[in-house]
Amino acid sequence: MTRSRTMIGLLVALLSGVALPVAQAAQTDAASGTKATAASSTSVQMPAPVASTASSPLDGTEWPVKVTPNVAAAQHGEKPFDDAFVFANGKVTLTACAKSGFVPSTYNASQTGPSAWKIMTQQESPTAGKTAWIGMIQGDAITGTLAMMKKDGTVEHYTFEGTRAANKTS
């Protein structure tokens, strides 16, 4: 439950651009298993995703996912939907979200093991709002959370899971 609350807090902070208290930032890092070092200030600003000048090992991969609203979002009428992460040239496109005006974005990818990655990205649509995606890739599986802030300020939460698509040949 604590990890879930920490992830939700992180997602909301990513969407709103708010500085996180150092204690919460340290908790988030501890939950992911990475060590955190806190600066002497009382808050930590979440960094924006940065495009890598070199291609990412995730470039050229596609990850179809099933996105499922949490209980509260479902009570607000949100429905499950299919999407896909498509990594190319240091950016990620979410194919279903692109239909609502979300543009490809840079992403952070941290390798956590031989075939394991933690990914984070934020996207914005002029008509639909903002999204923050946090995912874990382990081998050919991907899981994670999505927070969507609609234009009216409503925030809905989802989870997603899927598997890597077979490599495509041209």
The CA distance from 119 to 48, in Å, is 13
- Per-residue pLDDT of 34-47, as tens digits, reads 433 333 333 333 33
Is-contact 139 115, C-beta < 8 A? yes
Q: Which residue stretches of 33-170 are H helix? A: 71-75, 95-98
Rounded average pLDDT over 140-157? 97
Q: Are residues 51 and 37 in the same domain?
A: no
Q: Are residues 123 and 40 in the same domain?
A: no
Q: Are residues 97 and 40 in the same domain?
A: no
Q: Are residues 15 and 26 in the same domain?
A: yes
pLDDT of 157: 98
Q: Are residues 122 and 70 in the same domain?
A: yes
The CA distance from 51 to 38, in Å, is 24
Q: Write out the residue range of the structural domain in which residue 23 sits.
A: 1-46
Confidence of residue 56 (pLDDT cuts 50, 70, 90): confident
Domain count, the chain: 2
